Amino acid sequence: MFTPGHTLDSISLKLGNIIFCGDAAMNGFPSMKRITIWIEDKKAFQSSWNVLLADMTGGGDKMIHIAICDDETCMSDTIRKMVSDFFGMKNTEITIVQFSSGEELLSYEKSIDILFLDIQMKDIDGMETARMLRKRKFEGFLIFITILKEMVFQCFEVQAYDYLVKPIEERYFIKTMERLYASIQNASEANLLVRRGYESRIISLQDIVFGEIIDRKVYLHLTSSEVIDFYDRIEHLEQQLDQRFFRCHRSYLINLKYLKSYKKGIAYMEGGKEIPVSRLRSKEFSSVILQYMKSM
């Protein structure tokens, strides 16, 4: 049985009619960078893969580390109680730490899975704090706390999962947390199976920055800068992806998580890549961005 934190240089095993071999991860498994799969029985693949994945995750149970950063003690304590009550109903173990400033949060060195961050703070505000955290490769769920609804567009810049407007209404808080909890529970299923001849590979959707098609071949550009190519139709690829992806052009699919900005028909992605947005899809693009933030 594989558990998070279990270090392996490589994996070679056979599960049913599926032979696994390659470098030791998927989401939450730092030592596992790639798994290559040779499938002898394609019908057995999905059920067998689910068994292996459940084994690696220990059944999905994991302590969730939560941080709250707000310079108003009353608001911070209110969020803490709401968070505790929510995860108590889910029978999920959590830890909660509280910070009163961006500087204090930035000096914290332990893992954070979910961060509630106030935007309007003295000295370093929440937006600048978020930018600095993302530069440090913070990959947790970020939920902004704000008094201004207009801040939503800036929230997208730093890949915020959602935002809550003060004073926080319990129904909106629960709605956001239910979606977030479902995202955490389903994270292990958010993968793409890419086949190249007799060799197949599992790719996490969160690792895909964008995909493009050139001469009947799909090229997936990953966060690691690796490019994976295989023969397929972009229409078929689009059907296998979730709501975080948007087909902005007949030849491109982008992961909205890595969208930095959009201006004059160009989507600017992390890593500096510029992706064209067709005129036919430009009107839809802005609404899709907002919808993505509220429904992912």
Answer yes or no: is pLDDT of 8 > 70.
Answer: no
Per-residue pLDDT, averaged over 254-279, amounts to 89
CATH pick for 205-296 out of 3.30.342.10, 3.40.50.10860, 2.40.50.1020, 2.40.50.140: 2.40.50.1020
State the average pLDDT over residues 14-26.
Answer: 40
Condensed to tens digits (0 to 9), the pLDDT of residues 220-266 reads 999 999 999 998 898 989 988 888 899 999 999 999 989 888 888 89
Residue 18 has a pLDDT of 40
* Res 15 pLDDT > 50: no
Take residue 111 and report the two structure tokens written for it: 């893992």
pLDDT at 189 (0 to 100): 59
Q: Where in the chain is the domain with CATH 2.40.50.1020?
A: 205-296
Q: Which fold has domain 64-186?
A: Rossmann fold (3.40.50)
Share of the chain above pLDDT 70, in %: 73
Q: What is the mean pLDDT of the chain?
A: 78
Give the Cα separation of 4 and 200 in Å (integer): 24
Structure tokens at 160: 């915020």
Peptide bond connecting 30 to the previous residue in cis, omega within 30 degrees of 0: no
pLDDT tens-digit map of 84-111: 999 999 999 999 999 999 999 999 999 9
**b/e map of 271-286 (b: 16 or more CB within 10 Å)?**
eeeebebeeebeeebe
pLDDT of residue 2: 38
Which residue spans of the chain are classified as CATH 3.40.50.2300? Answer: 64-186
CB 259 within 8 A of CB 267: yes
The model's confidence at residue 177, banded by pLDDT at 50, 70 and 90, is very high
Residues in the chain: 296
Is the pTM above the cut of 0.75?
no
Check pLDDT > 60 for residue 57.
Answer: no
The residue to which tokens 């709501």 are assigned: 243
- Stretch 113-126: mean pLDDT: 93
Q: Rounded CA gap, 187 and 185, in Å?
A: 6
